[in-house]
Amino acid sequence: MRYIYNILGVLLVVLLASCSSSRKMSKVKESAWNPYECVIARANMAVSADGAGNVSLGGTLRMKRDDVIQINATYILGIPVGNVEFTHDRVLVVSRTTRQYIALNYQELSLLMGSDITFQDFQNVFWGEAEKLNVKGVDWKYITFTQLADGRRLPEEYDVAFSRGQTSVKARLKLSNFKLEDGWNTRTEVNTSRYTQLSVDQLVKLISILLGK
């Protein structure tokens, strides 16, 4: 798939595939976390499309309970690739490689995907409070969990697989070095003089290309 190196597009396909089905992932139990607790973890991602070789990325996962989830992706040597940020107001995806970004509120995202989607759906997934998901065309599941010093658990490894027609995208996210730490910037700032914002129509076209429609 010649678009594999458009990291923005690949992240979008994986993101939208998982979030379109996230409403079907029910909470397992009450949260063990207090409001506004912060967690930081080192992230390693491997993404492949249409059976092509993996694109390996490093990065960081930062989460503030009931407020924000951030994934920052980098190449080897720390070269920035992109950011994905979930807040109560929007989903923001920034491609540092193509200098593009997409900002969607949840009403737009829900209309786009044909399913009611909220920040809580993403929070359930990343804080380990959702069940294993097996939905036609989408497979999102936890592989392993880690136990923190205080006994609470967080997901340590995830698999996401998405297929439609002749197109398939797979991603694995591995987390390590968990810390209960705050003091980081909870919102991603985009320099709009240097980055181009994609409209919803442009997003639909991009996804259509990536899915081979």
pLDDT tens profile 61-106: 999 999 999 999 888 777 888 889 999 999 998 888 888 898 989 8
Q: Comparing 25 with 171, which gets the higher pLDDT?
A: 171
| pLDDT for position 14 | 62
The reported pLDDT for the residue numbered 182 is 93
pLDDT of residue 4: 42
pLDDT at 148: 93
pLDDT score at 2: 41
For residue 152, is pLDDT > 70? yes
- What is the pLDDT averaged over residues 148-176? 86
Give me the chain's average pLDDT, please. Answer: 81
Q: Which of 40-54, 63-77, 115-129 has the lowest mean pLDDT?
A: 40-54
- Between 188 and 140, where is the model more confident? 188
Domain presence at residue 1:
no
Report if residue 95 sits inside a domain: yes
Number of domains composing the chain: 1
Question: Which pTM value belongs to this model?
Answer: 0.86
Q: Is residue 153 part of a domain?
A: yes
| CA–CA dist 112, 103 (Å, integer) | 13
Domain carrying residue 162: 7-210
Looking at the predicted structure, is the pLDDT value of residue 211 above 60? no
Q: Could you tell me if 22 and 122 are in contact, meaning their C-beta atoms sit under 8 angstroms apart?
A: yes
State how far the Cα of 98 lies from the Cα of 108, in Å rounded to an integer.
Answer: 23
Q: What torsion do the CA atoms of 206, 207, 210, 213 make, to the nearest 10 degrees?
A: -110
Is 75 part of a structural domain of the chain? yes
In-domain check, residue 2: no
pLDDT of residue 139: 77
CA-CA distance, 138 to 159, in Å (whole number)? Answer: 10
Domain CATH code at residue 161: 2.50.20
How sure is the predictor about 137, in pLDDT bands with cuts at 50, 70 and 90? low
Of 37, 9, 36, 33, the C-alpha closest to 97 is 9
pLDDT of res. 34: 94
